[in-house]
Amino acid sequence: MLNYLWGFLIIIGVVYAALTGHMAEVTNGALDSSKEAVSICITMLGVMSLWTGLMQIAKKAGIISSCTRKIRPLLKWLFPDVPQDNPAIEYIATNLIADFLGLGWASTPAGLKAIKELAKLNKKDVHTASDAMCTFLIINIASIQLIPVNIIAYRSQYGSVNPAAIIVPGMIATTISTIVAIIFCKIKCHKSKRIVK
């Protein structure tokens, strides 16, 4: 659906530019945007490689396992239907730790593995997400962040005088969004269990 929407918007823009005599601006804009996109991709590739590598080092050094043990009571409370010895718990912990550190790219592989493991535990219809899957997804989207690495990199790329100025507002916003997400999930899970009973 989004492909059609974007295609429709591009066609309208090109037709409008042709009718108003602004095709040169459209062409220049497309070329400048392409060049800028490649530049941003190269910058973000470096940032992503650094932090993904650090996450792998942390995993091999046992730091992720240690952090997982420390947040296990929280994970048990958030995901009461998931056995604590299930591989999903470690993947969820890795994902949440990476998100907390602002390493969205490093958290994605663990997040995908967590969803696969949670899907194996899903006793409902295979086309219906379990409460644990929904909770994980919502908390992942809200993701409390200590250091928003991606945003700092983008701000630096675009010449911000103080790229790290976003840290405190980002912490406040993501803390609030995560708390609201957890409250929402707990209410919905409680209601769905009452309906099943």
Quick one: angle between helices 87-100 and 131-142, nearest 10?
20
Q: What is the pLDDT of residue 183?
A: 92
Evaluate if pTM is beyond 0.85: no
pLDDT at 176: 92
Per-residue pLDDT tens digits for 56-65: 888 888 888 8
Give yes or no for residue 106 having a pLDDT over 80.
no
Which of 108, 165, 172, 101 lies closest to 140 in space, CA to CA? 108
Residue 136 to residue 140: CA distance in whole angstroms: 6
Quick one: CA torsion of 34, 36, 38, 40, rounded to 10 degrees?
A: -150
- pLDDT tens for 109-127 read 888 899 999 988 887 677 7
How many other CB atoms are there within 10 angstroms of residue 142's CB atom?
21
How does DSSP assign 182-196, residue by residue? HHHHHHHHHHHHHHH
